[in-house]
Amino acid sequence: MAPSDLVPMGSIADISARLLLWSKQAVQGLARVEFSSEFSRQQVLTLLRAGLEQERIPFAEVQLPTYAEPMEVVDDLLAQLDRQASGVVSIHGFSTAFRAGIPLEEAMYALNFNRERFAERPLRQIWWMTPAFYDAAQFAMPDLMSWFNPRLRLTEAVVVEPQDLMVAESTTNIDDVRQRVAYLIQRFEQGQRAGASAADLLKFYLLPALESLAEVKAQKGLQDLTSQFEGFLSQIPALDVPDLATSLERLGRLYQIQGRYGEAEPLVQKALKLRLSLCGEDHLDSAASLNNLAALYTLQGRYSEAESLYARSLKIAERQLGVDHHNVAKSLNNLATLYTFQGRYSEAESLYIRSLGIRERQLGGDHSDVANSLNNLAALYTSQGRYSEAEPLYVRSLKIRERQLGGDHSDVAQSLNNLADLYRTQERYSEAELLHVRALAIQEQQLGADHPDVAKSLNNLANLYRMQGRYSEAEPLHVRALAIQEQQLGADHPDVAKSLNDLALLYDSEERYNEAELLYRQSLKISERQLGEDHPAVATSLNNLGKLYDSQGHYREAESLYERSLKIMENSLGIAHPDTITTRSNLASVLRKMSGQ
Amino acid sequence: MDIPGPKLQTTPATILEDVYKTLRPEPLQKPEELTAFYKAALNETRGGDQMKRLRLGLSRAYGDVVPFKACLMGHPGVGKSTELSRLIVEIEPEFQTIRFSATSVLDPVNFRPLDVLLIMMIEVAEQTAKLVGTPPSASCLRKIWDWFAVETSSRTMQSESKAGVEAGAGVKSDSLWAQVLGLFANLKGEIRFASAREDKVVEYRLSRLDDLIEAVNELLDECTRLLQTLNRQEWLFIGEDFDKPRMDPKRVSELFITYGNIFQDLRTHLIFSVPIALYYSVGASQLPFSPSCSFIIPDTPVYTQDHLPNEQGREAIRTVLAARMNLDLFEDDQVTQFIVASGGNLRDLFTLVSYAADSAILREADKISANDALGAINNLRSDYKRRLGQSPFSPDPVPYSEKVTLLQQIYAGREDGQITNPAMYSLLGTRAVQEFNGKRWFGVHPLVVDILKEQGHLQEDAEGGTL
């Protein structure tokens, strides 16, 4: 182990070294480690396990049950501890151990009250706590908390790629939308001929038409229609109409959806200015505008500006509606999403949990907003690698959506996809397949066969088949997905880049290297252009291309691609992210091969 | 039960690898531990030895008809339990002590005053039987049995509780004593899991409280007689941890104020820990302990009220630490750094030094360096910062802004900052504010001074923080 002077406090190396030292010193006792990143936690455990193995100290991991009654959790933990005669036990899963609806204080009380029964075991126990759990525990179970020694904090941050957080989607069929848009444009033209004001034309015809397309993610149609009315739209910001703010925001959002952030920004800013001057700072409409601008800044990666706007918006909402209002829950949710993007998982978790609590209290445990919160929290846990905690949340979210929206709603399909993706990550392929197939059927039925979400589902299923070696089943799905995306989103969309990458992976697996290389390069080009050269998606493409060269024996080319990929990943995802580790190991392997030549 | 961990080593650590064996955070309890580590210097810096006063009161009451009843107060970590352990050793010739922790034997949220009385009754009966070899007389036991017998039809025992219930003294025969032991075992379980008890049982019992006090007093008289005959000792009850944050303040107030007569009416010596917030509240005049029998153990100051170094306090803490480890294990004058950062609180001091010792071991050094100290202080400061937040469970939450204002007033030594209120209780409970003796003054913990400076609530050059 490296001397601790060189090891930053709270780093993976520091915490694993301290735990190892403690394991050697004591034969019995409780250690507490606060952590945010599951990836970092796993790294600590890997190092600790290796150290303990050298010392011949037995090691076991205990995962607590999920959403159980407090005494069931206590009994389960005791039973699992009893299975170990000695050594070190790592205990994990406190934040999802207790059934929703039980006040956390009461649940922690059960732990606190049974502390002697835990502590009397001849074991060294490591209790892993998330910051949200820790914050509550210090007030709810101070006796037990005072028994922990050492008390450590794993702070090494691992930043991961922003997750696609699922929000409620439209159930509108894409073909119906096309008809509606044609009708609205017809009315627009009629109105224009009749001398209607620009503000009204925008408000009643053009915006609804554009929004309908946006709602079904018909990106290409949206882009085409926006271009068609470019001249008309460019006059809008100059209009001097008092109630223009809403239209400006709607238009801004539409530009935003198309990735035209530069054009969206002045619209959203002007909307905010109008709102502030008309309603004042302490008005809910101003809060909404602040929120919208913050969302735009978030997409632009201007996180600190976004944070201060979200915070202002949240404060107004809390002042005007009280801290327990469901609109406050929405603001909390948005801020949590921002924190997730920044990798500030602990802060995100605590806000998501607060938001979820408000929604459960105000809307009941069976509301679709609650399902959204559960889904977002599950996505956060998934991005932290806390898969076992994510699963019950996804399941609960799915059940609520099925009950509230019906079994064939597109939100249900999203939940099925999310859960299937989680199962795929855990290599539970057969469970994943069933869910993907069901999701795809719902989406085709509800959204139309050409909807971009259908393309995503086709890709998901194809990736699953590839992982199982079912190549011939995978290819037609990929090809169909790609065709839908190029048609609906345009050939230069980041989703197309992702699909190209996925198809290349399939060709790579089939040793169709030339075809794979072509697609990897195409994907890389789109990602670099659309997302910037330092985006994790670019790093993924570089790594995959490197692997392709590697497997063909072109080590020099592979080395340079791996190096570039690794640099991006270390900067954007952190050194402990699984993708970073994979690339690092790829690089090491190719260097070994080169030195052996 | 002791805090889990290695056995306390009673000789000073001479190498870093042994520091964890001597810097254990639990109170000193055994005579050999007290001999090795207890230092009188600490009490001298905080206004005298309160145990001497307790001992004096107890010795006056020994053999007298009027029992000694006192309460002991102090903020978390000042060493109340250690002081009581010392007292128990010193008074052993005259007193046999029954010591219990409220957080272990009671349900901290749902307990009722009667539970404390029942615990005392059970303990004195069982321990007398164990010491003397024979149980209390049948007439005494019959009264207790009858008191509970009349409620059997109205009470429903919780049968679903999955936690274990301690067995009684294991007498197998079907005697009255055996039956009473069975009742006691059930009661202990019921008291620990009071949330499962029906309200009507509690109310029914409280309506007959006077009868029970009478029955318990008869039991106490008899048990005292038996003990005096055996070895000329008298029973002393020490009830601790009623001031722990987990104990529901409403229940504690109900015990000591609404049902304070229990303590007044019982014919036995007793010392109970009472939350200091209760002592400063408007209800304090109704506490069952007279002001002359109410004792406070204050914190040990490392600064004066004017934020100048308090050399006497620092030296006393240095003496305590030197008894546990060789101070040459610190580089330069790092010891002072730790002493100041601990704010004079021994539990914090041991946490800090243990963490730093581990850091030094991990970098394969044989002394604790300035960097090790800094790491440990940062780690503990982070705990303090988190505790300054608002409890999600507090029925009367105090916002941080209010706490900051009060902390600023206390730091400035303003008179209005010395008034005890919910914000002050909250800060005292988390040790952000400390109480010192002499003319009785409050001070801000050095780590909290650091936090306030960092947040711009105190000036950058404000004294009184860590070094």
Over its length of 597 residues, how does chain A's per-residue pLDDT go in tens digits? 334 456 778 888 899 999 999 999 877 889 999 886 666 788 899 899 999 999 999 999 888 877 778 888 999 999 999 988 899 999 988 877 887 667 777 788 888 878 878 888 889 999 998 777 887 887 778 778 878 888 998 877 543 332 222 222 334 566 777 777 887 888 888 778 777 788 888 887 888 888 777 776 676 777 788 778 878 877 777 776 656 788 888 888 887 776 666 778 888 888 888 888 888 888 888 888 899 898 887 766 667 788 889 999 999 988 888 888 888 898 899 889 888 766 677 788 889 999 999 999 888 888 888 999 999 999 888 877 788 889 999 999 999 998 888 888 878 888 999 999 889 888 889 999 999 999 999 888 877 788 888 898 899 999 999 989 999 999 999 999 999 888 877 787 778 888 999 999 999 889 899 999 999 999 999 888 876 787 777 888 899 899 889 888 999 999 999 999 888 877 766 666 667 777 888 898 889 888 876
Beta-strand ranges (E) seen in B143-289 are 234-240, 269-273
User: How near does any CA of chain B get to the CA of A280, in Å?
Assistant: 25
Identify any residues that bridge with B325 across adjacent strands, giving them in sequence order: B13
Q: Where residue B50 falls among pLDDT bands split at 50, 70, 90?
A: confident
- Cα B88 from Cα B33, distance rounded (Å): 13
Identify any residues that bridge with A127 across adjacent strands, giving them in sequence order: A32, A91
- Cα B74 from Cα A448, distance rounded (Å): 71
User: How near does any CA of chain A get to the CA of B141, in Å?
Assistant: 31
B354 contacts A149? CB cut-off 8 A: yes
User: How near does any CA of chain B get to the CA of A117, in Å?
Assistant: 9
Compute the Cα dihedral for A179, A184, A186, A187 and give only its sign. positive
Residue A411 is predicted with a pLDDT of 83
Identify any residues that bridge with A35 across adjacent strands, giving them in sequence order: A154
Q: Where residue B461 falls among pLDDT bands split at 50, 70, 90?
A: very high
Residue of A nearest to B397 (CA): A139
- Cα A541 from Cα A537, distance rounded (Å): 6
DSSP sequence for B128-170: HHHHHSSPPPHHHHHHHHHHHHTTTTT--------S-----S-
For Cα atoms A221, A226, A230, give the angle at the middle one, nearest 5 degrees: 155
Residue of B nearest to A24 (CA): B17
User: How near does any CA of chain B get to the CA of A150, in Å?
Assistant: 8
A3 contacts B364? CB cut-off 8 A: yes
How many residues would you count in chain A? 597
**The two three-digit tokens of residue A39, written as one number:** 């990836």
A74 contacts B244? CB cut-off 8 A: no
Strands B234-240 and A59-63: unpaired
**The two three-digit tokens of residue B404, written as one number:** 């900051």
Given a cut of 90, whether residue B359 has pLDDT beyond it is yes
Least confident piece of the model among A138-142, B5-9, B297-301: B5-9
A151 contacts B362? CB cut-off 8 A: no
Residue A185 is predicted with a pLDDT of 84
**The two three-digit tokens of residue A178, written as one number:** 């096309």
B246 contacts A141? CB cut-off 8 A: yes
Residue A396 is predicted with a pLDDT of 93
CA distances from B224 to B71, B85, B94, B216, B314 (A): 22, 22, 12, 12, 44
Nearest to A543 by CA among A499, A579, A515, A513: A579
**The two three-digit tokens of residue B256, written as one number:** 């000591």
B456: left (phi over 0), alpha (psi -120 to 50) or beta: left
Classified as helix, coil or strand, B13 is: strand
For residue A119, list chain B residues with Cβ-Cβ distance below 8 A.
Answer: 1, 3-4
User: How near does any CA of chain A get to the CA of B59, in Å?
Assistant: 34
Q: Which residues of B touch A (CB under 8 A)?
A: 1, 3-6, 20, 25, 103-104, 107-109, 161-164, 192, 244-246, 351, 354-355, 358-364, 371, 375, 378-379, 382-383, 386-387, 389, 391-394
Residue B14 is predicted with a pLDDT of 95
Disruptive mutation site among A48, A77, A113 for chain B (greatest number of B CBs within 10 Å): A113
- Cα A345 from Cα A324, distance rounded (Å): 23
A139 contacts B393? CB cut-off 8 A: yes
The contacts of residue A442 (CB under 8 Å, 6+ apart) are: A407, A408, A409, A410, A412, A413, A416
Average pLDDT over residues B98-110: 85
For residue A117, list chain B residues with Cβ-Cβ distance below 8 A.
Answer: 163-164
Classified as helix, coil or strand, A540 is: helix
User: How near does any CA of chain B get to the CA of A14, in Å?
Assistant: 9
Using CB atoms, pick whichever of B6, B25, B386 lies closest to residue A26: B6
Least confident piece of the model among B110-119, B139-148, B259-268: B139-148
Beta carbons of A544 and A508 less than 8 angstroms apart = yes
Q: Where residue B41 falls among pLDDT bands split at 50, 70, 90?
A: confident
Strands B69-74 and B269-273: parallel
**The two three-digit tokens of residue A177, written as one number:** 């939308």
User: How near does any CA of chain B get to the CA of A346, in Å?
Assistant: 13
Can you tell me which residue has the tokens 């803490």? B317
Residue A574 is predicted with a pLDDT of 64
Compute the Cα dihedral for B231, B233, B234, B238 and give only its sign. negative
Using CB atoms, pick whichever of B192, B362, B383 lies closest to residue A17: B362
Can you tell me which residue has the tokens 């506490």? B287
The contacts of residue A417 (CB under 8 Å, 6+ apart) are: A435, A436, A439, A456, A457, A460
- Cα A215 from Cα B186, distance rounded (Å): 65
pTM value > 0.95? no
Most confident of the ranges A567-581, B82-96, B397-411: B82-96
Residue B164 is predicted with a pLDDT of 26
Q: Higher confidence at residue A293 or residue B152? A: A293
The contacts of residue A458 (CB under 8 Å, 6+ apart) are: A440, A477, A478, A480, A481, A484
Using CB atoms, pick whichever of B351, B362, B386 lies closest to residue A138: B386
Residue of B nearest to A147 (CA): B3
Q: Higher confidence at residue A172 or residue B312? A: B312
Residue of A nearest to B106 (CA): A113
Beta carbons of B270 and B124 less than 8 angstroms apart = no
CA distances from A574 to A158, A161, A517 (A): 5, 10, 27
CA distances from A282 to A320, A328, A457, B12 (A): 8, 14, 43, 63
Average pLDDT over residues B45-64: 87
In what helix (H) or strand (E) does residue A145 lie, and over which residues does it extend? helix A142-146
In what helix (H) or strand (E) does residue A72 lie, and over which residues does it extend? helix A70-82
Residue of B nearest to A133 (CA): B392
B6 contacts A4? CB cut-off 8 A: no
For Cα atoms A225, A228, A232, give the angle at the middle one, nearest 5 degrees: 110
